[in-house]
Amino acid sequence: MVNTKVEQGFPKTVRLPNGKEVTLRLVNESDKQPILKFARTLAEKDLLYLRTDITDPAVVDGWIEHIQSGNTVTILALVEGEVVGFASVHREPARWTRRVGELRVNASPAYRGGGLGRALVAQAFELGKALGLAKLCGMLTPEQSGARVAFERLGFVVEAKLSGYVEDRAGNAHDMLVMCYDLTGFHDHVDAR
């Protein structure tokens, strides 16, 4: 149920600043096992702050259902057919938040620091515009300082801090930062190629 503006240009191959090539394509219903395989390669500390447990097959089924309903659009990054990262734009069907999307990005540790996250976020910006969104927001904890710096470099700003709002997999409470990017004033902070 993805609109044609979103589908345009996929799949595509991009060369990262580190010289590696990755294929970017939209998720389809046959991607459950590749996503689970990717998720299960992530370290516990990488899984700690994920909004959903993407190592759980039922959660991945729900994710794919949201994609099929049009509430979520996800781009996979693949190298030699293996998932090495993803970017998702999640939309809520509520009328009052229909112009805001939540951005979720993750990359394999072997592909961090080489430009994959930046390439995925650039594509997410394009998706957001194609979906008619005004804002993309990311949610993270203050402890995720590397992610926060990366978001700030891309032009995201902290719009809210919610005290004790999230609970990690061990049951510990953490504050949550909501960082947003205004797509209506989108300038080429990120190269979308």
For residues 40 and 59, the answer to whether their CB atoms sit within 8 Å is: no
Reported as a pLDDT band with limits 50, 70 and 90, residue 192 is very low
Residue 167, pLDDT score? 83
**Phi and psi angles of residue 122, each rounded to the nearest 5 degrees, phi first:** -60, -45
Which pLDDT score, from 0 to 100, does residue 39 have? 95
**Residue 116 and residue 157 in contact, taking contact as beta carbons nearer than 8 Å:** no
pLDDT digit string, tens, across residues 3-59: 567 787 899 999 998 889 999 999 988 999 999 999 999 988 788 778 888 999 999
CB 192 within 8 A of CB 128: no
Q: What is the pLDDT of residues 54-78, one digit of tens each?
A: 999 999 999 999 999 888 999 999 9
Give pLDDT, residue 171: 86
User: 193 versus 31: which is more confidently predicted?
Assistant: 31
pTM of the predicted model over 0.85: yes
Identify the residue whose tokens are 């809520």: 92
Query: Residue 4: its pLDDT value, please?
Result: 66
pLDDT band per the 50, 70, 90 thresholds, residue 193: very low
Cβ-proximal residues to 119 (8 Å cutoff; 6+ apart), any chain? 14, 16, 22, 24, 77
Confidence at 156, pLDDT banded by 50, 70, 90: very high
| Structural domains in the chain, sorted by start | 4-137 (3.40.630.30)
96-153 per-position pLDDT tens digit = 888 999 999 999 988 888 889 889 998 999 899 889 999 999 999 898 888 888 889 8
